[in-house]
Amino acid sequence: MTMGHQKEATSLSRVPGYGEPDLPASGRHDEPGALRRLLEPRSVAIIGASANPDKRGYQIIKALKKAGYNYPIFPVNPRGGAILDLPVYLGIDALPDAVDIVVIVRPAEEIPDILVQCGKKGVAGAVVLAHGFRERGGRGSDAEQRLRDALDISGVRIIGPNTSGMQNCTVRADFIGLPELPPGGPISVLTQSGNMILSVVEDSRSINGPGFDIIAGLGNQTDIGYGELIEELGKRKTTRSIAIYSEGLLDGRGFLDAAERVAQICPIVMLRGGRSVEGRKAALSHTGSIAGADDIAMKVLVQKGVILIDRSDELLPIAALLATSPLPKPKTGIAVLTDGGGHATLAVDALSRAGAPFASLSEDTKTRLKGVLGNEAKVENPIDVASAADAYPDVFRECIEILASDPQVGLVLINGLVGAYHIRFDASLLEAENSAAERMVALRKDTGLPLVFHSCYADRKPENHDILRKGGIQVFPSIELAATGSKALYARANWLSQQHSRVAELVPESSTVFVPSGLSAETAARGLLERLGVDTGKWLSAVDADSVEASISKFAGPCAVKLDSADVVHKSDAGGVRLGVTRGKGREAAEGICSDMTSHTPPLQKYGFIVTPMVDRGVELFVGATNDPVFGPVVLFGSGGVLVEMAKDVTFRAAPVSTEEALNMIEETHVAKILDGFRHFPRVDRRSLASFISSLSRAVLRMENLAELDINPLIANESGVYAVDVRLVGK
């Protein structure tokens, strides 16, 4: 298989063994609480504390005190004395037992010893700022090996190395040292970039965001990675959404499993860096990790409930919205309520581009809206209050109240000048706008209806916008942001509503089958699939021209006669295929193939034939699987035929997929448009097709050593699906 995205994935072949999956479990503080103590420390030691205000070992202590950290701080430095009025401990052994966290401000070469000493004192975790490990010397470097050994021996869990630090804004623990620690609140942030910590903090400041719980730079992820951290964040009552900036998941499969569990209870929003080929190069020069092939990553992360963000400037605002807003009910739509036509049009465009659903308003709703807005008002969705609110801002609230009682309305996006009539028209409206905001907060509380605001005056931060925000309602300065956010709320609501059926269907099976290295002959490939419960249709293996003829006579109609060899990748290009072979013509077909093979380079040692009945008519599809270096077994579905690489009409899911998920895959492709019958194409039985994809996805999980599997084309018609060509490749 040579599809572009897959080549990309393979060429980025992961250096095995990074990160958490291959660390031995022995000797770790794996009792519940180690990670919790690390993230929410009730005591801190600074290894490498300094009295010099220019040093990080001083600044961290200063930042802790400035932030208002109310628990013991133990500076450690062999010189002793006092730093910022705190007595200095001469060494780690002098510390009290079981300190929750140490922040290590010492260079790379000292880290292993320090960790071992900390382990002896029952320290739960460490933030290791030093660089000079695998990001410099590679996985096999001496420094890296010593660090990993020390982790095993000490049992101390670490964030880093090569990290800008960590903050808990709830208990006011700042190990990063920002000019000011941001306010405590419901958003936790995991990132691989120090600059992105500054970005999200500034972005939160720009929108008067709801504040942060944990902010952590993961650095090299030598011990703790994204997967483990989101599991721990999911347990925290103070975290209501998780925002991630990642330039590559070291254990993608582990992350998917964790995300699927955590997303049941806490939204996960993710911005991926290094998505482009060029960006990946930039990311590699940054922390030395690997971004998965973009197309696959996008699909499998969404499959597991992760909400993907395309723009860095949207990560924090969307996380703020998901942390504070209720979710819309499934099978409802969005009503847009506006005070200006242009803004309404742009909101509707942005929602439509984001793929968000629109509400059809009931006749009763429209009648009641006219009661408020007048008979001339536009009360189709989008609803234009026009100038009705100019002098009486509570009109918005009155309309929302009506919309809240319409079962088709699941979310209201309010946009325009809202909240700024006192700026635009008359300062005397300030009071009225403030009290309108208070009533909207009460309404949202009463009804549970999600409300998302855009106001072109949001950057001026009028008082009433902050009233809304304190009531858990976000107000954005950008129409597109409000639309992306509304869509994200729906995406999450829909994902949650689909979880039940999925879990019921996919019962794991344990026995596995080994895929031989390299290309398998087609008969071997089909045999292996059948052992794993995948029906590849009728076929017979033949060793020579006579048995080809005999095989053809066992089928009712004309047959395809094909070369069966582990040495030829493109059978038809090599002259190894004869189509529509009828009874009595089998020998000739086989001999023709033999003759064509005599000129094959390199010469073929040994080969046989496979005979399959011709499939009359149907749509050519593509079903396959690949073993993604980051995310593991992934199934593919899309348009088939020789032009599969041109159309790139393909979608992905992590295996296994349920029949419902497979139906969703089918819907995502262009080819779906012709599956209900089009011109001379027959109607396709989608459920048979989905069921085939699902069975293949379960089989793939039971294949050891799989590299790639193509069924192309898979011909589908009214009566079922037929695997016309099967190609299986082991690692």
Of residues 255-274, those binding a second copy (CB under 8 A): 271, 273-274
CA–CA distance, 41 with 31 (Å, rounded to integer): 16
**Residues numbered 176-235 forming contacts with a second copy, rule: CB under 8 A:** 178-179, 191-196, 198-199, 202-203, 205-206
Closest CB to a second copy among 490 and 539? Answer: 490
CA–CA distance, 233 with 186 (Å, rounded to integer): 11
Binding residue for a second copy (CB under 8 A) from 481, 488, 577, 610?
481
Q: Closest distance between a second copy and the C-beta of residue 644, in Å?
A: 11
Closest CB to a second copy among 86 and 178? Answer: 178
Q: Closest distance between a second copy and the C-beta of residue 242, in Å?
A: 17
Binding residue for a second copy (CB under 8 A) from 29, 157, 236, 275?
275
Q: What is the DSSP secondary-structure string of 49-91?
A: --S-TTSHHHHHHHHHHHHT--S-EEEE-TT-SEETTEEPBSS
**Residues numbered 399-438 forming contacts with a second copy, rule: CB under 8 A:** 416-417, 423-424
Is 464 a binder of a second copy (CB under 8 A)? no
CA–CA distance, 133 with 144 (Å, rounded to integer): 5
Give SS3 for 110: helix
Other Cβ atoms closer than 10 A to 230:
25
Is 496 a binder of a second copy (CB under 8 A)? no
**Residues numbered 295-324 forming contacts with a second copy, rule: CB under 8 A:** 310-313
336 close to 379: Cβ distance less than 8 angstroms: no
Q: Closest distance between a second copy and the C-beta of residue 517, in Å?
A: 26
Q: Closest distance between a second copy and the C-beta of residue 565, in Å?
A: 19
Closest CB to a second copy among 331 and 460? Answer: 460
Closest CB to a second copy among 108 and 479? Answer: 479
Binding residue for a second copy (CB under 8 A) from 121, 148, 157, 343?
343
Q: What is the DSSP secondary-structure string of 389-427?
A: GTS-TTHHHHHHHHHHT-TTEEEEEEEESTT-HHHHT-G
Q: Closest distance between a second copy and the C-beta of residue 556, in Å?
A: 27
Binding residue for a second copy (CB under 8 A) from 678, 687, 719, 731?
678
CA–CA distance, 152 with 146 (Å, rounded to integer): 10
* Residues in CB range of 527: below 8 A, 6 or more apart: none
Tokens 């059926």, located at residue: 501
Closest CB to a second copy among 195 and 501? Answer: 195
Is 459 a binder of a second copy (CB under 8 A)? yes
Is 276 a binder of a second copy (CB under 8 A)? yes
Site pattern 135..174 for a second copy (x: CB under 8 A): ----------------------------------------
Assess whether the previous peptide bond of 161 is cis (omega < 30° from 0): yes
Is 392 a binder of a second copy (CB under 8 A)? no
Binding residue for a second copy (CB under 8 A) from 65, 370, 378, 683?
378
> Residue 247 has what DSSP assignment?
S
Binding residue for a second copy (CB under 8 A) from 163, 287, 536, 695?
287
Closest CB to a second copy among 149 and 573? Answer: 573
* Binding piece for a second copy, criterion CB under 8 A, among 42-50, 323-331, 429-437, 451-459: 451-459
Is 457 a binder of a second copy (CB under 8 A)? yes
Closest CA to 312 of 276, 352, 270: 270
Helix %, strand %, coil % for the chain, to 5?
40, 20, 35
| Residue 661 phi, psi dihedral angles, 5° rounding | -65, -40
Q: Closest distance between a second copy and the C-beta of residue 192, in Å?
A: 7
Sheet holding 173-174, edge to edge: 173-174, 166-168, 212-217, 184-191, 241-246, 268-272, 306-309
CA–CA distance, 572 with 642 (Å, rounded to integer): 11
**Residues numbered 555-584 forming contacts with a second copy, rule: CB under 8 A:** 570, 573
Residues linked to residue 706 through DSSP beta bridges, in sequence order: 730
Closest CB to a second copy among 105 and 506? Answer: 105
622 close to 637: Cβ distance less than 8 angstroms: yes
Closest CA to 347 of 214, 456, 454: 454
As given in the structure block, the two tokens for residue 274 are: 């290094």
**Residues numbered 599-658 forming contacts with a second copy, rule: CB under 8 A:** 642-643, 645-649
Binding residue for a second copy (CB under 8 A) from 167, 325, 478, 520?
478
Pairing label, strands 212-217, 166-168: antiparallel
Is 554 a binder of a second copy (CB under 8 A)? no
Is 245 a binder of a second copy (CB under 8 A)? yes
SS (HEC) of 122-146:
CCCEEEECCCCCHHHHCCCCHHHHH
Is 57 a binder of a second copy (CB under 8 A)? no
Site pattern 686..705 for a second copy (x: CB under 8 A): --------------------
Measured over the CA atoms of residue 706, residue 712, residue 716 and residue 722, the dihedral's sign is negative
Is 285 a binder of a second copy (CB under 8 A)? yes
Q: Closest distance between a second copy and the C-beta of residue 637, in Å?
A: 15
Closest CB to a second copy among 192 and 325? Answer: 192
Q: Closest distance between a second copy and the C-beta of residue 540, in Å?
A: 27
Residues for the chain: how many in total?
A: 731
* Binding piece for a second copy, criterion CB under 8 A, among 21-29, 104-112, 374-382, 600-608: 374-382
Q: Closest distance between a second copy and the C-beta of residue 560, in Å?
A: 17
- Total number of residues binding a second copy (CB under 8 A)? 83
Q: Closest distance between a second copy and the C-beta of residue 692, in Å?
A: 21
Residues linked to residue 448 through DSSP beta bridges, in sequence order: none
- The C-alpha angle 480, 295, 452, rounded to 5 degrees, equals 20
Tokens 């807005």, located at residue: 373
* Binding piece for a second copy, criterion CB under 8 A, among 138-146, 276-284, 434-442, 659-667: 276-284
CA–CA distance, 579 with 225 (Å, rounded to integer): 53
CA–CA distance, 288 with 247 (Å, rounded to integer): 9
Closest CB to a second copy among 17 and 138? Answer: 138
Q: Closest distance between a second copy and the C-beta of residue 591, in Å?
A: 23
Closest CB to a second copy among 403 and 699? Answer: 403
